[in-house]
Structure 1
Amino acid sequence: MKGKYLIIISAVLLILIGYVWYHFQYFLQDKKYGSVSTIHTMLVKRSAHTATLLNDGRIFLTGGILKAEGIEENNSSTEFYNPVHDTFYRGPEMNIKRAGHTATLLSNGEVLITGGFNNEGFLKSAELVNLSSGKMERVNGELSEPRSAHTANLLHDGRVVILGGANGGLKSNKYIDVYNPATKSISKINSLLTARTGHTATLLNDGRLLIVGGSQNWRSDVLNTSEIFDPATNTIYQTAKLHVIRNKHAAVKLRDGKVLIIAGSDEAESIGGRYRTCELFDPVTNTFRLVKNKLADSRFKISNAADILSNGNIIVAGDGKYAEVFDAQTQTFHTTSGSVQDAWMYSTVTTLKDDRVLIAGGYNGNMQPTNKAWVYKPK
């Protein structure tokens, strides 16, 4: 009988401890650093999609995975987010179903969509979204290789550099392609020193492109190397090494020109290998240093899930129930109030012109995509 009472008392204590811890976590959230709240849902479920801020303040969302483990369940739909009314509405249909692709806003207001994958395999195709006519247009030529989990960056001269990514096998891509808006064509111009996918590419203030981490093979041979592409000469060269190997991380340029490299994984155990650590790249000294303060949550598959705010701070919201803000002055992380309810991987985080942030889609630990969306408000 005594043992029975002890079991009951222990169970009650565990419930009380869980209750207190739940509310203590909420107490720890720093309301000084803003809050997250739910808004209307997207028209369809999306993960590994894109969310591009347009010149008129809307966000253009494209493609993504519709169903768990379902490469064949990708979609070709697009939709717009209207920040004035917090609503989503349908956009033009892409010519091809895509997930793991890129969508880059060009200087003329058009959007270039490249690569990705669907039930037919990994894609070499690209298409152009003419937002004035609402139509999708083909571009001249194709990517040099099929690509997914690659990067596409708008350069200061208006061209777009497309590099890396997976080619459908176990190997990563090495070739560098460039889209020329004057001729609406794609051509190969060089090769990376190391083939990589799941990397990041960040445009520096001086026009060079910093390429960091990723993996050479599918979930193996994760890299700590980085390279710099110089568009003035179309050349590429090795730069400093990360302190740890990183894959499927995020990278955001700070106001001072440094680049924050955020979390990722060593892929040794996939989710089990996730990091809380971050590093800063200094383009003046071409070196990386570890940030002393760590994220509250380890985060992975977050390449499109971090962005800069107008005050210079960085918001990170992928693969965690709570968003976190990196204070660029104190170089510390702070958990915001409000929750996104689950740890959504391959979600998107996009800062609006009014400094709110749209957090959209992703899939959870069971690889179930969502159509849910949230808005972060700085204060």
Structure 2
Amino acid sequence: MNEARRKHATSVLDDGRLIVTGGQGRGSTQLKSVESYTLSTGNWIPINDMIYTRFDHTSSKLKNGQIIVIGGYNDRGPMNTVELYNSTTGNWETLIQHMNFARHMHTTLILPNGNVLVIGGVSTSGSLNNVELYDISAKTWENIGIMKHKRHYHTASLLDNGIVLVTGGYNGSSVLNSAELYNSLTQVWDSTSNMIFSRREHTASVLDNRKLLVTGGWSGNDPLNSAELYDPITRNWTTIRPMNDARREHTACKLPNGKVLVIGGRNHNIALASVELYDPSTGNWTYNGNLTNARYGHTSSIIHNTTVLVTGGIDSTGYSLDTSELYYLP
């Protein structure tokens, strides 16, 4: 990449270009720069900057092809501003109406109807349990209730029938094992069974059998190699075979063949280069080579259903990385 970055965000456009936004550079420099990667050329190209510097934000592709960047943190603290990137014009614009709550380290999902769900995070008062919905048609933000537990460093995953499953995280004092369900059709929150292990900075992937795979994370004392599955029919969790390496701040990609690729992360303060592949048909984990650069706090994105692109992150010395790596799917 043209700039080293961590705590950045990525989205893949309909044409396959990867857009990388913001983050922190070397020396904890706050970034508003944006880069585009094209797989066919292998080139990174700087494009128009965002309006605001930000890190620990989210970036999501809307159904109209635009990218929406939400919240984050800069030298003024947690942010409630929202920006849209128009890939046709190459321009950024700020939404007139901001979120009701400034936040960073939140999660964002695009719902089946195209609206945007923003969950939890951290504000100036600490961890949040409030949830906001951005109506794409009305261009308005609406508070849609609160979770039972305040949380950040959590995951949020879209299951069938517009159901959202939120797992784990941290409330400012304790690592959580709780999970909550949101019905996007009725806008009602509901508790479900707790995970077997408390964890934050983990990953969650929806499998082809519609179960949710949760991997790794931080227990509050140690990194985890444990993995568990959530069954949306029974609403219960079961443990499965652990990963070979304990890791947190890793990434996980559900591949077109149904397997899950877990990449990098860290064990305590040691960045990992190892990559593991989970096969749901056998329940086994296998090593799948190593990254060239050990890293955590990176991003991983699937492009054209053929390639995984890993960008940025942090090495074992705390150094922000400008390197990116490609994994070609078999």
> Which residue number corresponds to residue 15 of structure 2?
none
Higher strand share: 2
Matches of 1:32 and 1:137, distance apart in 2: 41
What is the aligned partner in structure 1 of residue 256 from structure 2? 255
Q: Choose between structure 1 and 2: higher helix proportion.
A: 1
Q: State how far apart, in whole Å, the 1-side matches of 2:305 and 2:229 are.
A: 28
Equivalent residue letter for 2:187: K
2:212 to 209, 212, 217: 209
The answer to whether the aligner puts 1:312 opposite 2:313 as a matched pair is no
The answer for unaligned runs of 5 or more in structure 1 is 1-30, 330-379
Structure number with greater CO (CA < 8 Å, separation at least 6) is: 1
1:87 paired residue number: 91
Q: Compute the TM-score of the two structures, normalised by the length of structure 2.
A: 0.83
Structure 2 residue 169 is the aligned partner of structure 1 residue 165: yes
Give the distance between the partners of 1:41 and 1:146, measured in 2 at CA: 33
Q: By how many angstroms is 1:32 displaced?
A: 6.6
Q: Is the alpha carbon distance of 1:311 and 1:107 closer, same or farther for their aligned partners in structure 2, counting shifts above 3 Å?
A: closer
Deviations 1:37-57 (A, max 9, x none): 111111111111101111111
Q: Give the residue type in structure 1 aligned to 2:117.
A: L
Give yes or no for contact 1:139–1:186 (8 Å, CA) kept in 2: no
Distance 2:283 2:162 in 1: 25
Larger Rg: 1
Q: Distance in 2 between matches of 1:156 and 1:315?
A: 27
Correspondence for 1:188 among 186, 191, 199: 191
Instruction: After the TM superposition, list the runs of 4 or more consecutive aligned residues in structure 1 that deviate by more than 6 angstroms.
Output: none
1:38 match: 46
Identify which range, 235-244 or 80-89, moves more after superposition.
80-89
User: Is the contact made by 1:47 and 1:64 (CA closer than 8 Å) also made in structure 2?
Assistant: yes
- Give how far 1:98 is off: 0.5
Match 2:64 to one of 56, 69, 87:
56
CA deviation string 1:203-260 (max 9, x = no partner): 111101000000111xx31100000001122111001111111001000111100011
Shift of 1:276: 1.2
Cα pair 2:256 2:305 within 8 Å, conserved: no
TM-score when scaled to structure 1? 0.73
Q: How many pairs were matched up?
A: 284
- The 3-state SS of whatever aligns with 1:216 is coil
**1:283 to 2:280 alignment:** yes
Name the aligned partner's letter for residue 262 of structure 1: I
Name the amino acid aligned to 1:276. Answer: A
Task: Tell me the amino acid that sits aligned with residue 121 of structure 1.
Answer: G
Q: Quote the Cα distance in structure 2 between the aligned partners of 1:87 and 1:78.
A: 14
Contact 1:306 1:318 in 2 (8 A): no
SS, match of residue 134 in structure 2: strand
Give a deviation string over 1:153-177, Cα, whole Å, max 9, x none. 01122110001111111x2111110
Summarize deviations over 1:276-319 as a string: whole Å, max 9, x none. 11110111111111112x212111113xx111111421111131
Aligned pair partner of 1:138 in 138, 143, 156: 143
